[in-house]
Structure 1
Amino acid sequence: MTLRIQALCIDSTDPRIPAAFWEKALGWRRTHEEDDEIVLEPRAGSPEDGVAPDLLFLKVPERKEAKNRLHLDLRPADRDAEVARLESLGAKRVDVGQGAEVNWVVMADPDGNEFCVLRALRPDEMAG
């Protein structure tokens, strides 16, 4: 099969808001920008370049009303440090019913799109 995911599309009434957050959060580059769409791609030459799907931020007239049906899960080396860094960029912790016993943190970007910051992998969980 030759099918691959090209982009994850994120709707927004103002694509500049989530695009600016994710550009800083991921350290990705802006490769396309118009009034109604912005594309972010991994840093050129990085291991993710040409592999990870682009993030495409699209202008839509309606505001976000409910929990996302699709969200990003981020795997940092240090969950708590990453949560603090993302909060400094404008993300907020949110409750979507995950409960207190989970080992991830649910957050929302400045446009209200939820995402999760997972715990770091243990050495025995890392691919060799």
Structure 2
Amino acid sequence: MTAHKSRVCHFVIDCDDLDGAVQFWSAALDATEEPVADQSRHIYRRLRLPDSEIRVLLQHTADAKLSKERMHLDLEVEDVEAEVQRLETLGARRYDHQQARGFDFWVMRDPWGNEICVLEPVFPELLDRRQER
């Protein structure tokens, strides 16, 4: 087998309103928008996270959401309820409060129906590195 390099470069989130998605996800993740090629801007927007080399790529689609995603973002936070309320003010909504798996967390939906989980710290040492917003 030939040696090769690979890495995760994007986590892609589908939406039908790119400007709204940039606004929501930039605020939700404390991310900043990076430029994309002009000919791609009507389909894609890219966000840089403050503490990761993986980018969030927002992708315009008119396809309807039909079922549960097989991938989603987990956000670890110091105060789950405060973060859930903050995301609600940005346009997310509570979907399912989970307490049966040994964790107490909220499954939420962004304004386009994509799932986001808000949970207590899993990697507290990494969360401690994060600057307050």
TM-score if structure 2 supplies the norm length? 0.76
- The residue matched to 2:59 in structure 1 has which SS? strand
Of stretches 57-66 and 76-85 in structure 1, the one that deviates more from structure 2 is 57-66
Q: Which amino acid aligns with 1:104?
A: F
Q: Which residue of 1 aligns with 2:27?
A: 24
Residue of structure 1 in register with 2:62 after alignment = 61
Structure 1 residue 100, shift from structure 2 partner: 4.8
Structure 2 residue runs of 5 or longer lacking an equivalent are: 127-133
Higher relative contact order (CA 8 A, sep 6+): 1
Q: Contact (CA 8 Å) 1:74, 1:118: kept in 2 or not? A: yes
Q: Which 5+ residue runs of structure 1 have no aligned equivalent?
A: none
1-structure distance, mates of 2:32, 2:87: 18
Aligned pairs, number: 117
> Any conservation in 1 of the 2:98–2:107 contact (CA below 8 Å)?
no
Counterparts of 1:9 and 1:126, CA distance in 2: 26
Q: How does 1:43-82 map to 2 (within 5 A)?
A: 43=50, 48=51, 51-82=52-83
For the structure 1 residues 99 and 82, does the alpha-carbon distance in structure 2 shift closer, same or farther, using more than 3 Å as the test?
closer
Q: Which amino acid aligns with 2:120?
A: R
CA contact 2:94–2:108 (8 Å) conserved in 1: yes
C-alpha displacement of 1:120: 3.1
- Alpha carbons of structure 1 residues 104 and 55: separation in structure 2 relative to 1, 3 Å: same
Q: Percent identity?
A: 33
Cα displacement (A) at 1:40: 0.4
The CA RMSD measured in Å over matched residues stands at: 2.2
